[in-house]
Amino acid sequence: MSSAEAGRMEPLTSGASNRIIPIMKALRASLIFVYTFFLSFVLFVLPRRSRRGTLAGAPPSSPRKHFKKRWLVREEEDTCRRRALAQGVGMGTDDWLCRWSTSIFYGVRNNALFCRQWFPVAGDLKGILVIIHGLNEHSGRYADFARQLTSCSFGVYAMDWIGHGGSDGLHGYVPSLDHVVADVGAFLEKIRSDNPGVPCFLFGHSTGGAVVLKAASHYHIKAMVEGIILTSPALRVKPAHPIVNAIAPMLSLLAPKYQFKGANKRGIPVSRDPAALLAKYSDPLVYTGPIRVRTGHEILRISSYLMRNFKSVTVPFFVLHGTADKVTDPLASQDLYNMAASEFKEIKLYDGFLHDLLFEPEREEVAQDIINWMEKRLLTL
State pLDDT tens for residues 125-145.
999 999 999 999 999 999 999
Q: Find the mean pLDDT for residues 366-371.
A: 98
The per-residue pLDDT for 56 is 46
SS3 231: strand
pLDDT surpassing 60 at residue 297 = yes
Name the pairing type of β-strands 112-120 and 98-106: antiparallel
Cα 215 from Cα 208, distance rounded (Å) = 10
Q: Which pLDDT score, from 0 to 100, does residue 299 have?
A: 93
Q: 311 near 216, Cβ under 8 Å?
A: no
DSSP-assigned beta bridge partners for residue 106:
112
Predicted local distance difference test score (pLDDT) of residue 250: 80
Gap between the Cα atoms of 12 and 339, Å rounded: 23
pLDDT band at 118 (very low <50, low <70, confident <90, very high): very high
Q: Which residue has the higher pLDDT, 297 or 330?
A: 330
Q: Choose the most confident range, by mean pLDDT, from 20-24, 121-125, 129-133.
A: 129-133
pLDDT, position 197: 96
pLDDT tens digit sequence for 235-293: 998 776 676 677 777 878 888 888 866 544 456 899 999 999 999 999 999 999 988 88
**Separation CA 352–CA 362 (nearest Å):** 11
- For residues 113 and 83, the answer to whether their CB atoms sit within 8 Å is no
- 98 vs 115, residue with greater confidence: 115
Environment class of residue 377 by beta-carbon count within 10 Å: exposed (0-12), middle (13-18) or buried (19+)?
buried
Query: Residue 168, CB half-sphere, CA atoms under 13 Å: how many?
Result: 15
One-letter identity of residue 21: I
Give residue 20's pLDDT: 33
Note the pLDDT of residue 238.
Answer: 77
Q: Which of 304, 199, 298 is nearest to 248 (CA)?
A: 298
Residue 90 three-state SS: coil
Highest mean pLDDT among 12-21, 69-78, 243-252, 281-290: 281-290
Burial class (CB in 10 A: 0-12, 13-18, 19+), 64: exposed
pLDDT at position 1 over 60: no
Q: What DSSP character marks residue 265?
A: -
Q: Which residues lie across from 348 on neighbouring strands?
A: 320
- Confidence at residue 51, expressed as pLDDT on a 0 to 100 scale: 44
56 phi/psi in degrees, rounded to 5:
-75, -5
pLDDT over threshold 70, residue 113: yes
| Distance, CA of 331 to CA of 343 (rounded, Å) | 20
Q: Does residue 22 have a pLDDT over 80?
A: no
Q: Average pLDDT, stretch 45-55?
A: 44
- Mean pLDDT for 347-365 is 98
Please name every residue paired with 230 in a beta bridge, in sequence order, or none if there are none: 204, 319
Q: How far apart are CA 378 and CA 370, in angstroms?
A: 12
Looking at residue 122, its pLDDT comes to 87
Rounded Cα–Cα distance for residues 306 and 213 (Å): 8
Closest-CA residue to 198 (of 115, 124, 118): 124
Of 55-64, 285-294, 332-341, which gets the smallest average pLDDT? 55-64
What average pLDDT does the chain have? 84
Ranges of H-type helices in the chain: 3-8, 20-40, 46-55, 63-87, 143-150, 177-194, 207-215, 219-222, 243-254, 274-281, 293-308, 330-339, 363-379
pLDDT confidence tier of residue 147, bands split at 50, 70 and 90:
very high
pLDDT of residue 16: 35
Q: How would residue 102 be classed by pLDDT, with cut points 50, 70 and 90?
A: very high
Q: Which residue has the higher pLDDT, 26 or 31?
A: 31
Identify the pLDDT of residue 326: 92
Average pLDDT over residues 16-31: 40
| pLDDT given for residue 179 in this prediction | 97
Confidence label for 63 from pLDDT (cuts 50, 70 and 90)? low
Q: Kind and range of the H or E element at 154? A: strand 154-159
Structural domains in the chain plus CATH codes? 67-379 (3.40.50.1820)
Of the chain, the percentage scoring pLDDT greater than 90 comes to 66
